[in-house]
Each structure stands twice: as structure tokens, then as C-alpha cells.
Chains A and B, each alone.
Chain A
Amino acid sequence: MEDIAITVKDLKIRYKSVQAYSIKKSLLRLKGAETQSFEAVRGISFEVKQGEILGITGKNGSGKSTMLRALANIFSADEGTIDLHGHSVSLLAIGVGFKKELTGRENIMLSGMLLGFTEEQVKEKMPEIIEFAGLGKFIDMPVRTYSSGMYSKLAFSITAILETEIMLIDEVLSVGDEKFKKKSYKKMKSLISNKDRTVVIVSHNLATLEDLCDRVLWMHEGKMMKIGDPHEVLEEYRQFMED
């Protein structure tokens, strides 16, 4: 039997009256309090096996990113459960916690530790990250002197080389110039096709999903339309979008 890495059951996520309000507003609200509630994810259940690559697609505002963030434990489910079976998880996020005044090297340290790695682990991976980013002598310059391409190259390298058991990816990242794009796509592919790694990708790029994923989940307005073989699901999705 194959191990299950992620179990999601009846997941519901609501954005409700939790907007920030000013004191004046809250005093006024005491009279006729009316709370608005918006359900972004409306009861989704699925399982992801260990080593599987699951793609999620759907039109804008269908709750994909919300669900991904819930998987990453950034916010909690209002109903239902998410069980990661004890695996470490990270949302592949670019440039988390970067400080512009610090050098590239220091930012690698900062970002790596924020993603939950120890100082030693980051230090160990440091040469690999620096090499992959290919920034040359700029690695010891403050990040504010970087061009935007260099910035994203560094950021990508950090997340690509520091690995966790479950990776969550919001839009497959293509950054930098042509050469780095190819290099990063290749790296991405080798990263996620690793047998032990479970990956969830959110993307609008159907070709990429078809290329990379084992299964695809199609979301529409917070509900699950279909889950299964990439070709079948994506074909139906294409037709649906054309109508």
C-alpha cells in the first residue's frame, strides 16, 4: 500500500467579518451589526499519495491559492480537516523575509532559517545555492543593488535548493533570462519528479500541468469539478473555458 501524504476532508474556508475595522466603525456597528461572509473553498476532499504530483487549476478566484495556503498552515480551515501525516511542508515562496540592505549571502541565511531550516543546514547548502544563482561577485553586495532579474534568481535558488518533503507551488516559476528560465525549469522538474517528494502545483499554464503532473484537480468557485488523469481533466477544462 502506498503512503498517503496529504488528506483533505470537507475543507471549507471562509473570509468573513474578520476585516480590520476602525474604532469609529465598530462603535457604529454596535447598532445594526451585519457580517458579510464569503466562502472561498466550499467543501473539498481529496488525498495525495506520497511522491505524487498534483496539479490544481481553475479560473481566477476559484479558491486555488486559498487552499494552497491552508495546506501550508498559513491559515486555518473553518470546517473540515487537513492532515499532512507529519510531513514537513513549505510553500515555495520567492524572497521571503528578504532585507534589502543586507548582502545576498546574509539574505540566504535569513530566508533559509525562516523556511524552518537550521543554521547548519543552510550553511551546508550555501555554496550550492550561490552557484545555482550564478550572481558572481554580487552575492556579497546588498540586495538593493540587484536588478529585478538577479533578485528573483537568488530568491528562486534558495527555495529550489532547500527542500522539504511536501512542496507547494503557486504558479510554476519562470524567472530571469532565457538561460536561467530553462535552467530553473529543468531544476524544478528534477525537484518535483523526485520519488519521495509530494508536490502540489497551482497553475494556469495547462501545458506545464500536463507535462509535470500525475493528477489534476479542477476547481470552480470553491468546489471541486473533477479530479483525475491530466489529459481528461484538462481537456474538459479547456472546453468549459471556451463556452
Chain B
Amino acid sequence: MKRFISDVKKYWNYTRYAAKSQLKTEVANSYLNWLWWILEPFCFMLIYAFVFGMLFKKKLEYFNIYIFVGLAFWDFFNRCIKSSVRMVRKNKPIVSKVYLPKFMLIISDMMVNGFKMMICFGISFVMMIVYRVPISYRILYMIPILLVGIVFTFGCSCIMLHLGVFIDDMSNVINIVLRFVFYLTGIFYSIEQSFPKPYRTILLNCNPIACIINDLRRCIIYCQDPGFHVLELWAVISVVLAIIGVRTIYRGENTYVKVI
């Protein structure tokens, strides 16, 4: 634990700088450059709103924002997990030349994706003003909820990074699993309205992503309290996952170079 904190401190600056340059690199050569960070999620939102709102006639209050909030967090989680599986391989030139705690690569990546997520939330606030959505103090709950989400993502990413090194085709498996979770998470439909009684509670509470997204929507759009008990439980699980993840990385990271 002590080692974790001192390592984070030591490499924090590099990580931040690497994240910043990653963002810069992404937009360096495109015509619309940083506008893509806004356009991309916005267009996806329009597609989902069109397909599920117009064609399937889903009726939900503020459906556009509803999708957007879900999409913002889902994209963050999805991108982090996907890239963490290939993280060590992708950074082979760095990993084979200097020592760097491998989870710092994850943190750097999370900063990049976190920045994009913040843009998404920024857009949703603009949309809330446009649609005149009532706002209450409960919107502040989004901070602890996001925190749980971030720790959970970090924990999962660490474990995925470790597995990704040793198992070549892990990324295929992860793609399938993520797609499955995506449909079960209710990005573009409401779990509460679509499933009968016992199943919806199970789906909402046992899938941390669904739980987090649902809580985010409740406190941002609908002025409701999040489900505190379930959230607390997931907070504890997330911390445990993160500890396991960091430990696994510390134990295994010196063999990574031999494998790749």
C-alpha cells in the first residue's frame, strides 16, 4: 500500500503528461480535431435516440439526456477495459526499456478517457439547460458515484492488464463479454420498465455498471437519491478489486517483459 502511494506520487507527473500528449496526438491530424470529442458521443446519442426512441417507441422522460448520461460512463468503462487488455503489448517499447509501475499506464489511459467522459457530462448539462430539466442539490451525488465507478474500472483494468499479458486472445473474450454487459446495462432502455419484478432488481444491483449509471441518472436528471446501500456495497467491492489488481500487477510485472 505504501509502495503504491509512493509510486503514484513518483510517476504522477509523467502519467499526466503522457495523458495530455495522448489527447494531443489523437487530434493532431484531423480537420475537425477536438470537435470530434463532442461530435462522436453526440452522434451516437442521436442514433440511439432515433432507433430506440422513434422506431421502438420507448417512452422515457428526457430520453436524449437519459441516453447521454449512460453513454458517457459506459464509454469510459468500455474504453478503459478494452485498452487495458492490450496495454503492455502496446507499450512494449517503453516497458522493455525502463521500469514503470504498469498500473500507471492504466491511470494515464483513464485520464484520457476520463477527460472525454467529462466532455460528455458537460454536453449533458448544456442539454439539461436547453430542455429545462429541474436541478436539485442531489446532482452533487454524482461525484461519489463517479468515484466508485472510477475505482471499479481501475480494479478491473488492472486485472485485465495482467490476464492480457499471458493470454493472447483475451481481447476477443473481453469484446464479447463487454457487448453482453452493454445490452444488459440499459444504455438505451430502462431496466426498471423492461423487466418483471425480481429480474430487474437482480439486473440493477448485480451489474455494477447498470447500478452506477442508474444512480447517475437518478441524481442528475430526476432529482432522486441514489440507492445508497447497493452503492456502498459496490464501493467496498471496488476497493477490494483495486487492491487485488495492484497486488497482482506488483507480483507479476517483472515477468511481463519476458513474455512479450
Q: Determine which residue in A26, A73, A75, A90 has the highest number of CB atoms from chain B within 10 A of its CB, and name it.
A: A75
Chain B residues near A22: list those with CB within 8 A: 167-169
Is A23 engaged at the interface, CB distance under 8 Å to the other chain? yes
Is B6 engaged at the interface, CB distance under 8 Å to the other chain? no
Is B17 engaged at the interface, CB distance under 8 Å to the other chain? yes
Is A109 engaged at the interface, CB distance under 8 Å to the other chain? yes
In the complex, the answer to whether A23 meets B98 with C-beta atoms within 8 Å is no
Chain B residues near A119: list those with CB within 8 A: 13, 17
Is A96 engaged at the interface, CB distance under 8 Å to the other chain? yes
Stretch at the interface among B47-55, B89-97, B144-152: B89-97
Chain A residues near B173: list those with CB within 8 A: 23
Chain A residues near B240: list those with CB within 8 A: none
- A87-117 interface code vs B (CB 8 A; 1 in, 0 out): 0001101011101011000100110011110
**Which of these, A23, A75, A97, A109, contacts B94 with CB under 8 Å?**
A97
In the complex, the answer to whether B28 meets A90 with C-beta atoms within 8 Å is no
Take A97-B18, A101-B25, A113-B13 as given contacts and tell me if A20 and B99 are in contact as well, using a CB distance cutoff of 8 Å: no
Chain B residues near A15: list those with CB within 8 A: 258
In the complex, the answer to whether B13 meets A76 with C-beta atoms within 8 Å is no
In the complex, the answer to whether B166 meets A18 with C-beta atoms within 8 Å is yes
Q: Determine which residue in B28, B99, B169, B259 has the highest number of CB atoms from chain A within 10 A of its CB, and name it.
A: B99
Is A6 engaged at the interface, CB distance under 8 Å to the other chain? no
Chain A residues near B98: list those with CB within 8 A: 72, 74, 90-91, 93, 96, 114-116
Is A69 engaged at the interface, CB distance under 8 Å to the other chain? yes
Cα-based distance from A95 to B97 in the complex (angstroms): 10
Is A21 engaged at the interface, CB distance under 8 Å to the other chain? yes
Classify the secondary structure of B's interface with A.
Answer: helix
Is B44 engaged at the interface, CB distance under 8 Å to the other chain? no
Chain A residues near B257: list those with CB within 8 A: 69, 74-75
Is B201 engaged at the interface, CB distance under 8 Å to the other chain? no
In the complex, the answer to whether B260 meets A20 with C-beta atoms within 8 Å is yes
In the complex, the answer to whether B167 meets A91 with C-beta atoms within 8 Å is no
Chain B residues near A60: list those with CB within 8 A: none
Is A118 engaged at the interface, CB distance under 8 Å to the other chain? yes
In the complex, the answer to whether B97 meets A20 with C-beta atoms within 8 Å is no
Is A176 engaged at the interface, CB distance under 8 Å to the other chain? no
In the complex, the answer to whether A21 meets B100 with C-beta atoms within 8 Å is no
20 contacts between A and B (CB under 8 A): A18-B258, A21-B168, A22-B169, A69-B257, A73-B99, A74-B98, A74-B254, A74-B257, A75-B255, A96-B94, A96-B98, A99-B22, A99-B25, A109-B17, A110-B14, A110-B17, A113-B13, A114-B100, A116-B98, A118-B13
Question: Residues of B with Cβ closer than 8 Å to A?
Answer: 10, 13-14, 17-18, 21-22, 24-25, 28-29, 93-100, 165-170, 173, 254-260
Shortest beta-carbon contacts, A-B, top 5: A76-B254, A93-B97, A113-B14, A101-B25, A101-B28
